[in-house]
Each structure stands twice: as C-alpha cells, then as structure tokens.
Amino acid sequence: MSAFDWQRMLLADMPLLFLGEVAFRALFAFVVVFVFLKVSGRRGIRQLSLFELVVILTLGSAAGDVSFYDDVPLLPVAMVFVTLLVLYRATVMTMRRSERFSDWMEGKPVTIIKDGLYELNSLDHLNISSDEFFMELRQQGVEHLGQVRLGILETDGDMSLYFFAAHEVKPGLSVLPGAHRSEHQQVPEAGTYACVRCGYTQPMSSGQQACCPRCAQRSWSPALSHERLR
C-alpha cells in the first residue's frame, strides 16, 4: 500500500459507478424518511418528545447505513422504517387513550417559578445548571425573578413565562451573569437582598449575615426591582 493513493483514499475498491448507486441509495433513504414524517404527522422540530427523538435517530442511522454501505440491502432497511412507523403510531394511540402512559412517555410540565421564587422541589429534580437556566430567562427578557409571576418548564424543554403587571413587580433575584451580579455571605451595605438559591428576599443591614428561612442557604445577592422592558 502506497501513501497518497487517490484511488484507495477516494473510492477504496469500489468502481466509479458505485457513486451512482450511492446517489440512488441516498435518494431512497430521503424518500422513506420523508414519507415517514408525512404519514406520522410530525409537528415542529422543537416539539420532539424523547420517544420521537429516539425514532428520528434510529431513522437517521438506518438511512446512513443504506446510503453508504454497498452490502446493506434495501428491503430490510425498508422493513426497519415500516416497523418504526407501526411502533410510532401504536405508541401515539396508546398515549391518547392513557394519560398515565402519556405522562410516563413525555413527562409533565414542571412549575419552576411561582410568585417570583424558585420552586425548590422542582429545581432539585431538574438536570440543568443555574447558568443555563438564567440564560433561558434572559433570552425571554427577564432581568430578575420579581418580574415573573409563573414559570413553567414544558415537556419539550421550552420555558413558558407569565409576568407580573408593571405595578406588581417585586424585588427579586438577579439572573444576570456573574460579572453583573455580586454575591455575599456578609452583605456590604443595607438594602434588600435575595437568596441566590431560592430567590427569597428580605431587608438586611450593613455587615449582616443570615440564613435563608426558606432554603437554609447563606449566600445573598442585591435584589433588583426594575420593571420588565418590552
């Protein structure tokens, strides 16, 4: 074997005509996936559930195999697509008839913010970092939790937020990045501070140290009270 053997690098032992077969196989995979999505009644890509994501990944794997490997016959791959379609339709039908099964497959919406405070039971079970969570809030125009009346994490990962009216906004925990938000265990000056874990706010005097009565944490950040910009 010699270095920079272009025949080996580009086509290996395949004849040049095999490129035409690859094109046909790719067209076959494209058509089958397209038909699957049309027949299954797919919604927007942002609304993929866990089960639907698994189906799509499996389809992608089968489509890739049939496109690039000359020893993968077409009919068995077509049977994979038919089986997945039947499984998908059966699962969707079962989910429509059984609320418990639907909740198990797709999960339930989770309340994560209520009246400007984090719901601690929800946060403890979420696999999401605080930085990622704050980023999601900032992208929807939130500067601090006191602007949010209700926050719900939907089953597709999107966040639905319902805001206080301008005159109802209360002091709340800042969701700005660390460079724009300070944290203290001993507060430097008198003012209203928010617990950095749950968002609970209380007035504190200069030099005071306190344990949050809601979650027992001891870190505090100056609370913000700005109205939300629209």
3-state secondary structure of 209: coil
- Of the pLDDT bands very low, low, confident and very high (cuts 50, 70, 90), residue 188 is very high
Residue 100 shares a structural domain with residue 122:
no
Residue 175 shares a structural domain with residue 134:
yes
How many distinct structural domains can be found in the chain? 2
> How confident is the model at residue 224, as a pLDDT?
94
Long-range own/partner contacts, residues 124-131 (CB < 8 A, 24 or more apart): 126/153, 131/177
pLDDT at residue 30 greater than cutoff 70: no
pLDDT over 90, % of the chain: 34
* Positive/negative CA dihedral, 34, 37, 39, 41: negative
- Of the pLDDT bands very low, low, confident and very high (cuts 50, 70, 90), residue 125 is confident
CA dihedral 30, 35, 38, 44 (to 10 degrees): -20
Query: Does residue 229 sit within a domain?
Result: no
Ramachandran angles phi, psi of 147, nearest 5°: -85, -15
Query: Does residue 96 sit within a domain?
Result: yes
Cα separation of the two ends of the chain: 66
Residue 115 shares a structural domain with residue 100:
no
Q: What is the DSSP string of 11-23?
A: TTT--TTHHHHHH
Residue 98 shares a structural domain with residue 184:
no
Cite the beta strand spans of the chain per DSSP E.
Answer: 110-114, 117-118, 148-153, 159-163, 191-195, 201-204, 220-222
3-state secondary structure of 118: strand
**Structural domain boundaries, residue 203:** 110-222
- Of the pLDDT bands very low, low, confident and very high (cuts 50, 70, 90), residue 90 is confident
Ramachandran angles phi, psi of 162, nearest 5°: -125, 130
Query: Does residue 13 sit within a domain?
Result: yes
In terms of phi and psi (left: phi > 0; alpha: psi -120 to 50; beta: otherwise), the region of 151 is beta
Residues belonging to the chain:
230
> How confident is the model at residue 93, as a pLDDT?
86
Query: Does residue 1 sit within a domain?
Result: no
pLDDT at residue 80 greater than cutoff 80: no
Which of 52, 72, 104 terminates a domain? The answer is 104
